[in-house]
């Protein structure tokens, strides 16, 4: 009887140890746990700090005058331009690659020439081109559309599917980006997620707490072009990494063997008892 109890005790002890080691506190894995429901939080961050070198821009000009906007659009204008516009021609067709902002923060736009645009928003650039087209007598009432073509964010660390994501549109929040890579794993630290950002030739390293409502006031709530997000593993995973990865397998196997042996011995003792009786 004692042997059976010993086997059961070992099995229960191992199961209990595994259960508690696999659990994290609700506070460690919950997002924005300090905000009451239906609470309203203002957003102070900006979508971006404007156009930056290496941004690739889609710029399209429309006009009420038939054919008047042709010289200002890449897909219809086959005149080669410098740095800013990169055109690939295949079998006579022109593939629009966008205007690549050079390291000086400029592009070369058809007819208008070099435009210094670093720091401008897309709306401001559209207004600038529209004003130039009107003031210089090229078009009377143009419509100018500007979009970012290569908005991408890199997400590394303890997330389900680390990698680079391409963003359609002009804004994405850190929560939206994390959802695109399958969310954090249970081992990812919510309290100190690192964001590496490069803008205007300056690299900054920020930190956000996804478990706090303060995230809405962070300049990193909205991710910018080329941001790198790093999710650090929690202390439990770090400690596990220092151990033999097979330790739990060895312990589990040993407990299973002890349990089986104690059951066999108990059955033999029980059989002998009834035989002698």
Q: pLDDT-derived band of residue 27, with 50, 70 and 90 as boundaries?
A: low
What pLDDT is stored for residue 43 in this prediction?
Answer: 72
What pLDDT, on the 0 to 100 scale, is given for residue 195?
A: 97
Where does residue 253 rank: exposed (0-12), middle (13-18), buried (19+ CB within 10 A)? exposed
Rg over alpha carbons for the chain, rounded to the nearest Å, is 31
pLDDT of residue 22: 45
Per-residue confidence (pLDDT) for residue 81, from 0 to 100: 43
Q: Phi and psi dihedrals of 49, rounded to 5?
A: -100, 25
In the prediction, which pLDDT does 170 show? 84
Task: Say whether 206 sits in a helix, a strand or coil.
Answer: strand
pLDDT at 13 over 80: no
The model's confidence at residue 76, banded by pLDDT at 50, 70 and 90, is low
Instruction: Name the pTM for this structure.
Output: 0.67
Dihedrals phi, psi of 68, to nearest 5 degrees: -70, -25
User: CA geometry: angle at 11 spanning 8 and 16, to 5°?
Assistant: 120
CA distances from 229 to 42, 153, 178 (A): 23, 8, 9
What are the pLDDT digits (tens) for 211-233? 999 999 999 999 999 999 999 99
pLDDT of residue 47: 75
167 Cβ contact partners less than 8 Å away, ≥ 6 residues apart: 151, 152, 153
Angle between helices 2-22 and 247-276 (to 10 degrees): 160
Alpha helices in 120-246 (DSSP H): 122-135, 174-180, 235-242
pLDDT number for residue 68: 92
pLDDT for residue 40 is more than 70 = yes
- Give the pLDDT confidence of 78-121 residue by residue, as tens digits: 444 444 454 444 454 445 578 999 999 999 999 999 999 999 99
Strand duo 152-157 + 228-231: pairing: parallel
pLDDT at 77: 55
Strands (E), the chain: 56-62, 85-90, 93-100, 106-109, 113-116, 143-148, 152-157, 163-166, 193-199, 202-208, 228-231
Residues 164-189, mean pLDDT to the nearest whole number:
93
pLDDT value, residue 147 = 92
pLDDT given for residue 164 in this prediction: 96
Task: Read off the pLDDT band of 46 (50, 70, 90).
Answer: confident
pLDDT at 104: 93
- Provide the pLDDT for residue 33: 75
pLDDT tens-digit readout, 234-258: 766 655 655 555 665 666 677 678 7
Phi first, then psi, for residue 222 (nearest 5°) are -95, 125
pLDDT at 243: 56
Count CA atoms closer than 13 A to 130's CA, side-chain side.
14
Q: How far are the Cα atoms of 95, 215, 262, 264, 270 from residue 1, in angstroms, in the given order? A: 82, 58, 10, 12, 9
pLDDT of 19 > 60? The answer is no
Q: What is the pLDDT of residues 118-146, one digit of tens each?
A: 999 999 999 999 999 999 999 999 999 99
Closest alpha carbon to 160 in 179, 180, 182, 175:
182
pLDDT by residue (tens digit) across 148-157? Answer: 999 999 999 9
Cα 29 to Cα 183: distance, rounded to the nearest angstrom: 11
> Cα separation of 128 and 133, whole Å?
9
Predicted confidence at residue 200, as pLDDT, reads: 79
């Amino acid at each position: 009887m004692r042997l059976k109890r010993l086997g059961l005790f070992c099995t229960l002890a191992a199961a209990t140890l595994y259960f508690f080691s696999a659990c994290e506190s609700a506070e460690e894995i919950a997002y924005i746990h300090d905000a009451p429901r239906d609470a309203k939080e203002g957003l102070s961050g900006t979508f971006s700090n404007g156009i930056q070198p290496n941004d690739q821009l889609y710029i399209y000009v429309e006009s009420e005058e038939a054919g008047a906007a042709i010289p200002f659009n890449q897909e219809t204008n086959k005149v080669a331009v410098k740095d800013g516009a990169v055109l690939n021609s295949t079998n006579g067709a022109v593939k629009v690659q966008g205007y690549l902002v050079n390291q000086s923060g400029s592009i070369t736009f058809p007819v208008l020439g070099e435009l210094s645009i670093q720091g401008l928003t897309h709306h401001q650039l559209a207004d600038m081109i529209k004003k130039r087209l009107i003031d210089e007598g090229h078009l009377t009432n143009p419509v100018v559309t500007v979009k970012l073509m290569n908005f991408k964010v890199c997400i590394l660390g303890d997330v389900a599917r680390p990698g680079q994501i391409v963003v359609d549109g002009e804004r994405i929040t850190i929560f939206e980006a994390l959802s695109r890579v399958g969310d954090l794993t249970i081992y990812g630290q919510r309290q100190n997620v690192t964001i590496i950002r490069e803008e205007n030739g300056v690299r900054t390293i920020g930190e956000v707490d996804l478990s706090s409502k303060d995230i809405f006031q962070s300049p990193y709530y909205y991710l910018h072009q080329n941001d790198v997000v790093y999710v650090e593993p929690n202390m439990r995973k770090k400690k596990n990494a220092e151990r033999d990865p097979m330790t739990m397998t060895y312990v589990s196997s040993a407990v299973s063997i002890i349990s089986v042996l104690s059951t066999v011995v108990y059955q033999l003792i029980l059989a002998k008892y009834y035989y002698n009786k």
